[in-house]
Amino acid sequence: MPKTPSQTSTAWHSPQWYQRFFAWAMATAAQGYETKMADRKRQLFSHLQGEVLELGPGAGPNLPYFKPEIHWLGLEPNPYMHPYLQQQADSLGLNIDVQTTTLADIAIPDNSKDVVLCTLVLCSVPDLESTVQDILRVLKPGGQFLFIEHVMAPAGSFLRRVQTGLCPLWQVIGDGCRLDRETGKVIESAGFAKVDYQTFEAPVPIAVVKPHIIGAATKAS
Ligand SMILES: C[S@@+](CC[C@H](N)C(=O)[O-])C[C@H]1O[C@@H](n2cnc3c(N)ncnc32)[C@H](O)[C@@H]1O
């Protein structure tokens, strides 16, 4: 059953000045990353159709990959992202519906979305396992979850030790972002019928966020 707001919680505690700064930073500083990720995103989002839910769309870097025919709902808890999103949507001629909330705090019906997608968001959600379960719940049978996320480096690696040590500080300066998530494993064990993803080194200058995964998880038909 969908949750009601009273049954849920959100970890959205950043002060307003920080939310405003983070929105500005995402809108202005991520352009180089987006240019280098364009081919991967074009391929990942090439078959989007129907009811599409995006978690944490930020300033809207994924909007250029969407066709005007889709029904797009974005859950973006930082309200200072919304003007950037709207501006991007207007310039692309897209109709968007953005809500200032999270999947844990909105009653989205079970089996209602053809696609759920997110990029660089599952590192920040307060409860990864429960978010992935909610994604599975709201997807229609046969629906797909598409994701690009940065993750923890392989066990035993030096980079993983650095990520572990830096994680508490990174969480504070990075708007709740965690460096120690094994997001691929959580998606694999969530109950999807099929999970396909690749690990790759993202084109970013900061080593601790280089390990990325990109892929799709399909709900049973
Ligand atoms: C690093 S930004 C990524 C934004 C965008 N998806 C991108 O690829 O540039 C993380 C985004 O997730 C949002 N966010 C944080 N916690 C969230 C949650 N629990 N549910 C949905 N979005 C969340 C933040 O407000 C922010 O916009």
> Is the CB of residue 187 less than 8 Å from the CB of residue 157?
no
Cα of 161 vs centre of ligand 1, distance in Å, is 25
Q: Are strands 113-119 and 139-150 parallel, antiparallel or unpaired?
A: parallel
Joined tokens for residue 2: 């969908």
- How far apart CA 192 and CA 17 sit, in angstroms, is 39
- Residue 14: the pLDDT is 80
Mutate to test the pocket of ligand 1, among 124, 135, 145, 173 (most ligand atoms within 8 A of CB): 124
| Phi, psi of 86, rounded to the nearest 5 degrees | -65, -40
The tens-digit pLDDT sequence of the chain (221 residues) is 434 333 333 444 688 999 999 999 999 988 889 999 999 999 999 999 999 999 999 999 999 999 999 999 999 999 999 999 999 999 999 999 999 999 999 999 999 999 999 999 999 999 999 999 999 999 999 999 999 999 999 999 999 999 999 999 999 988 899 999 999 999 999 999 999 999 999 999 999 999 999 999 999 99
Distance from CA of residue 152 to its chain's centroid?
16
Number of domains, the chain: 1
Domain range holding 31? 5-218
Whether 88 is in the pocket of ligand 1, judged by its Cβ within 6 Å, is: no
> Is the CB of residue 54 less than 8 Å from the CB of residue 78?
no
pLDDT digits (tens, 9 = 90+) for 82-130: 999 999 999 999 999 999 999 999 999 999 999 999 999 999 999 999 9
Cα of 55 vs centre of ligand 1, distance in Å, is 7
Whether 60 is in the pocket of ligand 1, judged by its Cβ within 6 Å, is: no
- How far apart CA 20 and CA 9 sit, in angstroms, is 22
Half-sphere exposure of residue 97: CA atoms within 13 angstroms, side-chain side: 7
CATH number of the domain encompassing residue 82: 3.40.50.150
Whether 74 is in the pocket of ligand 1, judged by its Cβ within 6 Å, is: no
pTM equals 0.94
- How far apart CA 38 and CA 215 sit, in angstroms, is 15
Residue with tokens 């999103």: 85
Whether 121 is in the pocket of ligand 1, judged by its Cβ within 6 Å, is: yes
- How far apart CA 181 and CA 209 sit, in angstroms, is 11
- Residue 85: the pLDDT is 97
- How far apart CA 94 and CA 184 sit, in angstroms, is 31
